[in-house]
Homo-oligomer: A and B are copies of this chain.
Amino acid sequence: MTKNIRSLFGQRVRQIRLSKNNMSQEKLAFECDLHRTYISDIERGTRNVSLDNIEKISKALEVEPKDLFDFTTID
């Protein structure tokens, strides 16, 4: 069963977050002005994230939006 985009996107957000000096979900949530539980849900692949929040997350992680969709290093 190929993974769906919610799951892949969530894993990628988590991967990049941890690569930023082990940034916490709390810190990412604060930087994005989103709730921590929402970040947790995103990383667990349960949220149908929209463009505006994708933009907030990419800015907070200091990556380009397309980097959040690079699933090549997701197993």
Contacts and interface: CB of A to CB of B under 8 A. Distances in A.
Majority DSSP secondary structure for residues of A touching B? helix
Interface of A: 4-6, 9, 47-52, 54-55, 64-71
A50 to B, nearest CB: 4
A44 B58 CA distance: 22
A12 to B, nearest CB: 10
When all copies of this chain in the complex are counted, the total is: 2
B51 A9 contact: yes
Listed from nearest, the 7 A-B pairs whose CB atoms lie closest are A66-B69, A5-B55, A65-B69, A48-B50, A50-B50, A66-B66, A5-B51
A65 B68 CA distance: 10
Contacts of A51: 5-6, 9, 47-50
